[in-house]
Amino acid sequence: MVKSLQGQIAWITGGGSGIGLAGAMALAKAGAHVVISGRTQATNDSALTTLQAIGSAEALLLDVADKHAVQAAAQGILAKHGRIDMLINSAGTNATQRNFDVVTTDAWDDVVGINLNGSFYCVHAVLPAMRAQNGGLIVNVSSWAGLYASKLTGPAYNTTKRALLALTESINMEECQYGIRATSLLPGEVATPILDKRPTPPTQEQRDRMVQAQDMGQALLFLAKMPARTCINELVISPTLNRFYLGGLEAPPAR
């Protein structure tokens, strides 16, 4: 890892908490200017206080499911900074009532709108600038569920996270000629607030043995510091004690 991040502009969606915030902290500490976006003002404000104690950062109030707002956000970043070197699509959600016998069409639309549509809207918004500057890194935060569908995560989450793999490879196929590279980041269980949306949230003891948010921050820093000539197409990260290997997570969750 030899690439300097000094002066790089990184836009991180879902940057107010979890994997997004951990990535923002790691990148800011390494010298990048981070622009976090999220749809909750209080979360953004808290994260920004943390980030500005470490390095250079700003925050945008943004719902990535709103394609017009996404376009405006990208144009605002470009107008202020002149470039976007990294896009990390970390905004994500899941329904609590998520399996076929209980999931609603509105819940499906919400998960698809954020996890898939939102990621596409952000990619679509940054690509022209990345082409013009002849380079850029896009990281789409997928999931272990993107490789191995699970009853635990449900059909909407499974579908959107697997679709991100296809989105990532489409970027690499079409945009590599412009120096643009994309990575699907596929974590197993990570101890972040999204776990609270499970029908039966994990215990603190279980969370302590999962991948931690700061571990994912280091993974994002690794991707960011790779030489521009190198593309990491997929990066899979799981807890050493991987509960999907041990059984018991595939049964339909209690309701």
Q: Which two three-digit tokens encode residue 156?
A: 């909407």
> Residue holding tokens 């981070």?
34
Q: Which two three-digit tokens encode residue 89?
A: 């699509």
Q: For the sheet with 86-89, list strands across it.
A: 56-61, 33-38, 9-13, 86-89, 136-141, 180-187, 234-237
CA 206 – CA 12 distance, rounded (Å): 28
In 3D space, the residue among 104, 150, 111 whose CA is nearest the CA of residue 252 turns out to be: 150
Q: How many CA atoms lie within 13 Å of 39's alpha carbon, on the beta-carbon side?
A: 12
Q: What is the DSSP string of 88-153?
A: EE------SS-STTT--HHHHHHHIIIIIIHHHHHHHHHHHHHHHHT-EEEEEE--HHHHS--TTT
- Residue in 121, 157, 178, 245 annotated catalytic: 157
Q: Confirm whether 157 is a catalytic residue.
A: yes
Q: Please, what's the b/e burial string for 52-87 (b: 16 or more CB within 10 A of its CB; e: otherwise)? A: eeebebbbbebbbbbbebbeebbeebbeebebbbbb
Contact 25, 217 (CB under 8 A): yes
Enzyme catalytic residues: 157
